[in-house]
Chains A and B, each alone.
Chain A
Amino acid sequence: MNARAPRALDLAVVAALLTAPFWMAAIGGYTELASRIVVMGLAAMALNFLLGFTGVLSFGHAAYFGLGAYGVAMAIKYLGLGTLPAMALGIVGATIAAALIGALIVRRRGVYFAMVTIAFGQVFYFVAFRWNSVTGGDDGLTGWHRVPIPLAATTLDIFGDDKAFYYFALAVFGICVALMALLLNSPFGRTLIAIRENERRARFLGVPIEFHIWLSFVVSCLFVSVAGALYALLNNFTDPRALRFDLSGNLVIMAVLGGMRSFWGPLIGAAIFVALQDYVSSHTENWMSVIGVMFVLVVRFFPRGILGLTRRGASA
């Protein structure tokens, strides 16, 4: 693995993210767009933990994204918790669900695994949709908003100040990404990559495959639920759409577009996807076709993604 190039990329990404609110406006963006990119980037990177590094396709990650979102929303609305405890509740809830469901489906692979993840995702969508009294049903959960966070000396007003929220989201993103990088560089992460490369050989080496895949699934869903919680906070709102399979599909395309085999790839993919969708939908009603065409182009011509283009023949 080429040690120098990734480090330059790491620095560039970090620098761009830290200064985003200041240069976004200059190119026609706005702070909330930057926040959205960070949130989706985290979700896509979390998905890629499973998809790109373990080689397992899940098309139902929206379910855990949504559970994180609903968890934090319900905690703030019904229990009156502060932002951080509410987030913790959402994340724990989603992770438990992922652990349970992961155990059920971990023996399947390939197309069947994907279908089953879609189906379970729809179950959660359906529950959120129908359980009106608790989740607000199709109308979603309104009437709550982000609670400013009391820190040691001052209060971080993430409700009133968009920039403050952006940096809060970025901080959470940073922690999650650092944890993911640590995991990937650990023996556990190496095993996952081995499973991705050749599952049968790994099995012959005595690696407990199902356990590793299950754990990878749980970790991936945990981080996706953090992104979901941030998303609910970003909008001061959550609704069943956060659980639907089209969100799952969008996350997968972000990972593929940026480059599944690279660490930062999904973030780049998310940035392009979110910005493109925002920009195109402002200029034409037919933005869905543009997004669809993009899916087709990526699959046919860029299957290794943007970062795959720049890396000549290297396979990490």
Chain B
Amino acid sequence: MTQLILFNLFNGLIVGAFYALMALGLSLILNLSGVINFAHGGFLALGAYLAYSLIPTIGFWGALIVAPLLTAAVGLVVERVLIRPLYGGDPLYSLLLTFGLAYIFEDMTRFVWGAQALPFQVPGWLTTPLSPRFFFLTGYRLFMVVLVAVAVGALFAILNHTRLGIRIRAGTRDLETVGTLGVNTRWLRSLNFGLGIYIAGLAGVLAAGLLGLSPTIGASLIMPSFVAIIVGGLGSLLGTLLGGLLIGVASGLTAVFLPSASEAVIYVMMGLVLLVRPRGLLGEEGRLH
């Protein structure tokens, strides 16, 4: 029994790391621009599909680098053309816009790549378990955790030690003042959006190694991201990271005792957080009121 609990605990951390990655991209965009990006799952799917198409030419590692960049490029175009005109307006409109984009993304991926699930292949040596006892610690899943750690580390490094990052953080608190200080806030929002989408594309490539690659791959992953952000607290990236890990672990532990409730438990957690501490674990009072 202890082994089962421990296994599910570790596994929950791994799953949670993935949720955290997805949620971070969403959180980044939400914090600075106030845009709920419903199309985040669509960008994830795009990253996955682009990687699938690139693998025959540049291999898995090449696709891992290039696909998120391409996805971010698409994200930048979308932001410039469609989302930028909506800043400063009613948040309703950006929400509706990304909602419509989600429809378009799903349909277009089905149109281009077909409805049939596609066999996404990861290098063989990566998918074997590290040891027969710890069979669930496959090379791929550990690689995923490492990659998430690196990405999160890089993100926090950018946010704390580069000019761009410091401006993003400042802009999250008071974009108007940052603008009056001479920073080009439009570029700032664009780059921030691009960064968030890069993360979504990366999450997509990683997801395709674990899951079946079909047009609906993004839709199934977006809800846990929302919950991670609500649990961790709006406005706090660290909170989002924590939120993702927490729901992964909660889900894993529930699987030991009540397997059919392992998905429900993340919504129960969300409900509890909203009741007891509405601003989330690390959220700041009064954020995004």
Stretch at the interface among B134-142, B197-205, B271-279: B271-279
Q: A126 CA to B93 CA in the complex, in Å?
A: 27
Q: How far is the CA of A115 from the CA of B278 in the complex (A)?
A: 12
Q: Please tell me if the beta carbons of B99 and A295 are within 8 angstroms of each other in the complex.
A: yes
Question: Is the C-beta of B230 less than 8 angstroms from some C-beta in chain A?
Answer: yes
Docked complex Cα distance between A189 and B270 (Å): 33
Establish whether residues A110 and B288, one from each chain, have CB atoms under 8 Å apart when the complex forms.
yes
Residue B85 at the A interface, CB < 8 A?
yes
B104 within 8 A of A: yes
A-B contacts, 30 of them at CB < 8 A, read A51-B92, A57-B91, A107-B278, A109-B289, A110-B34, A110-B288, A111-B34, A111-B36, A112-B289, A114-B91, A115-B226, A115-B229, A115-B230, A118-B226, A119-B226, A130-B264, A249-B96, A252-B96, A256-B92, A289-B107, A289-B108, A291-B103, A292-B104, A293-B104, A295-B100, A296-B101, A296-B104, A300-B82, A300-B85, A303-B93
Residue B86 lies at the interface, judged by CB distance under 8 Å to chain A: yes
Given contacts A111-B36, A295-B96, A295-B99, contact A288 B85 (CB under 8 A): no
Of B103, B226, B289, the most chain A CB neighbours within 10 A belong to B103
Which B-chain residue is minimally distant from A107 (CB atoms)?
B278
Say yes or no: B104 contacts A288, CB within 8 Å.
Answer: yes
Query: Which of A110, A122, A286 is close to B289, meaning CB atoms less than 8 Å apart?
Result: A110
A253 at the interface (CB under 8 A from B): yes
- Distance in Å: Cβ of A284 to nearest Cβ of chain B: 10
Specify the main secondary structure of chain A where it touches its partner: helix
Query: How far is B86's CA from A298's CA once the two chains are assembled, in angstroms?
Result: 12
Interface membership of B66, Cβ < 8 A: no
The verdict on B164 contacting chain A, using a C-beta distance below 8 Å, is no
Whether the pair A111, B93 counts as a contact (CB closer than 8 A) is: no
State whether A286 touches B288 (Cβ < 8 A): no
Q: Is A16 positioned at the interface, with any CB of B under 8 Å from its CB? A: no
8 A Cβ contacts from B242-289 to A: 260-261, 263-264, 267, 270-271, 274-275, 278, 287-289
Given known A114-B95, A286-B111, A292-B104, contact A299–B86 (CB-CB < 8 A): yes
Interface size, chain B (Cβ < 8 Å): 46
Could you say which of A109, A119, A303 has the most chain B C-beta atoms within 10 Å of its C-beta?
A119
Task: Determine if B96 and A119 form an interchain contact, defined as CB atoms under 8 angstroms apart.
Answer: no
* Chain A residues, CB < 8 A from B105: 292
CB interface residues, A 104-125, toward B, < 8 Å: 104-105, 107-112, 114-116, 118-120, 122-123
Interface residues of chain B, those whose CB is within 8 Å of chain A, are 30, 34, 36, 38, 82, 85-86, 89-97, 99-108, 111, 223, 226-227, 229-230, 234, 260-261, 263-264, 267, 270-271, 274-275, 278, 287-289
Partner of A298, one of B82, B96, B230, B234: B96
A292/B264 in contact, CB under 8 A: no
Knowing A104-B275, A130-B264, A249-B96, the reply to whether A119 touches B230 (Cβ < 8 A) is yes
Contact B226 A108 (CB under 8 A): no
Contacts of A263 in B (CB 8 A): none
Using CB atoms, name the residue of chain B closest to A51. Answer: B92
CB-based contact B102/A292 at 8 Å: yes
Interface string of A264-299 (1 = CB under 8 A from B): 000000000000000000000011110111111011
**Smallest beta-carbon distance A160→chain B, Å:** 37
In the bound complex, CA of A157 to CA of B148 (Å)? 61
**Do A253 and B107 contact each other (CB < 8 Å), given the known contacts A108-B278, A108-B289, A110-B289?**
no
Whole-angstrom CA separation of A212 from B209 in the bound complex? 50
